[in-house]
Chain A
């Protein structure tokens, strides 16, 4: 599962983890209750959104009247959501692919000892240390002064790549350094050229990590909002569409829209998760 091992870059769930003993038995019970309450709070808003998606009244509030499915019908016939979903999927997969590719090259470079490394690392981590609003503002200024017109390909895609790149690098680079290089060395010893070493030795080893990284990069891009808000043009991504729907339209079909996106992301993540865990 990609999301679990992003921030440290270590494998989390694949390794067997012996249980840590909790000293007090009643603390254990307390902890269970605590987690149950927490889960309830975590799920409460989702439940409410799902509930309100069947509300009869035109406003997103209680009381909600007789249950109805008409908002789902409205969302299904309204192609702005579908168009936004398409855009988010496209931007997500493109930025994930490009960022992972760049991160892979950077990771391979980082296996060497060069004086450039600390500077390069600073440059790579910079976007990570900029808070969202600042990250959006600097791009807004940059594209504005250059006269680049806001759009999906002109501004949103570069903004997403620069946002997900540090995460991709941090996830991927430890895997590139971490694996046993004996095989690689043996291949070189036997006369393999660099291209062959990469395709026949390194790539098969790092492939799962590359796959996991791009998946993680995709989820980051898919939910990116604040930077996108700064550089978005007319073509909205899903989070921006949600924002516009909440604030400008207050559209009664918002909960239905959210439920549909919710189901799609859960299904997609579940599939990815299953694929990923099958591999291990």
Chain B
């Protein structure tokens, strides 16, 4: 990376650089009011929480289009990324390893995050630490499972309690996988009996690719984002899909007879953390925003709007038993088998396998 930076400086000295900087100048003048660049899934900053979040931060939060955890890592480590982003909210169990290895984050100043004291002891213990300093603060957790329409797929069908419902020929043509290499290959691997998908060999990956291709005719289409997915289920274009907790809620609110499964091979879980990349020039504002995203106000709204799990102790203790049962906030106590999102050793091979599936 060092040599690259030198190159970039030389390049900047060129005429093209002059043009670009002269264009950047008026932008600086126009952007007088304060703002921070955030990178977080849109579902974690719904419109109704934007006002309070920006008030608490004292700046506009410009949340850039979010794609995936892989993409977040790549964006942070991409050329010219230093200083582009001020606050990230992403799957900590997934992105910690590459980001810490690349030394891409700054230690957080907990004195600027007073709400840290409101986290439950468990979630405080889950923070990412190095040399006695905190780098990531947990702010929410969730699981991904198969959402299915009970009008078409009976709840008592045994296959619903496995990832196998995605591949069952009886529901052929009515299934929508997610267009995401990591998630689809992981759940297929789990379904095919791979214990540790993240470290599986290339020949295992090839086998999974072949299995996916053999089931391709069963899939109606692939979804890539929240809106597409919800629309697929609500228009009854598909009966089952890999889905998120807020999708289940959105569909239930529309009156759809939709629930989720508890795959016996392991429910995919993740916890999101807040962190500040190196190079951010607006660390005070970023800390203020991070403080809001673990506040009681934010956590209770997020749980209410999205069904997500949260880390603020007061909010956790305030859940009714009915809510806990409905959402599944007690999955860890219930002994549901879980598989936390884990960074795969050979991500490129995974992406290639997924592309081969799509082209096949």
**Residues in A whose Cβ lies below 8 Å from that of B65:** 232, 244, 248
**Residues in B whose Cβ lies below 8 Å from that of A148:** 20, 23-24
A146–B235 CB distance below 8 A: no
**Residues in A whose Cβ lies below 8 Å from that of B132:** none
State the Cβ distance, A152 to closest chain B Cβ, in Å: 8
State the Cβ distance, A28 to closest chain B Cβ, in Å: 42
**Residues in A whose Cβ lies below 8 Å from that of B79:** 144-145
B23–A248 CB distance below 8 A: no
State the Cβ distance, B23 to closest chain A Cβ, in Å: 6
Q: How far is the CA of A213 from the CA of B31 in the complex (A)?
A: 31
Q: How far is the CA of A244 from the CA of B26 in the complex (A)?
A: 27
Q: How far is the CA of A245 from the CA of B42 in the complex (A)?
A: 11
A151–B27 CB distance below 8 A: yes
**Residues in A whose Cβ lies below 8 Å from that of B225:** 247-248
With A145-B79, A145-B80, A249-B42 in contact, is A59–B231 under 8 Å at CB?
yes
State the Cβ distance, B137 to closest chain A Cβ, in Å: 24
Which of B17, B26, B253, B254 contacts A153 (CB under 8 A)?
A: B26
B23–A154 CB distance below 8 A: yes
A56-101, CB < 8 A from B? 57-62
Segment of B8-16, B97-105, B288-296 in the binding face:
B8-16
B234–A153 CB distance below 8 A: no
Which of B20, B63, B254 contacts A57 (CB under 8 A)?
A: B254
With A57-B254, A61-B235, A248-B42 in contact, is A143–B227 under 8 Å at CB?
no
With A59-B234, A153-B23, A244-B65 in contact, is A147–B80 under 8 Å at CB?
yes
> B residues touching A (Cβ–Cβ < 8 Å)?
8, 11-12, 16-17, 20, 23-24, 26-27, 30-31, 37, 42, 62-65, 78-80, 83-84, 224-231, 234-237, 253-254
A250–B80 CB distance below 8 A: no
Which of A60, A146, A232, A244 contacts B231 (CB under 8 A)?
A: A60
B80–A247 CB distance below 8 A: no
With CB as the reference atom, state the residue of chain A lying closest to B62.
Answer: A234
Q: How far is the CA of A58 from the CA of B251 in the complex (A)?
A: 9
A251 within 8 A of B: yes
Q: How far is the CA of A62 from the CA of B254 in the complex (A)?
A: 14
A158 within 8 A of B: yes
A12 within 8 A of B: no
B227–A247 CB distance below 8 A: yes
With CB as the reference atom, state the residue of chain B lying closest to A232.
Answer: B65
A146–B17 CB distance below 8 A: yes
A239 within 8 A of B: no
B230–A59 CB distance below 8 A: yes
B227–A245 CB distance below 8 A: yes
B11–A248 CB distance below 8 A: no
B20–A143 CB distance below 8 A: yes
With CB as the reference atom, state the residue of chain A lying closest to B256.
Answer: A59
**Residues in A whose Cβ lies below 8 Å from that of B37:** 149, 234
State the Cβ distance, A40 to closest chain B Cβ, in Å: 23
With CB as the reference atom, state the residue of chain B lying closest to A59.
Answer: B234
Which of A61, A146, A157, A244 contacts B20 (CB under 8 A)?
A: A146
Other A-B contacts than A62-B235, A158-B23, A248-B42, 12 sampled, CB-CB below 8 A, are A61-B234, A61-B236, A144-B78, A144-B79, A146-B16, A149-B27, A152-B27, A153-B26, A234-B63, A244-B65, A245-B227, A247-B227
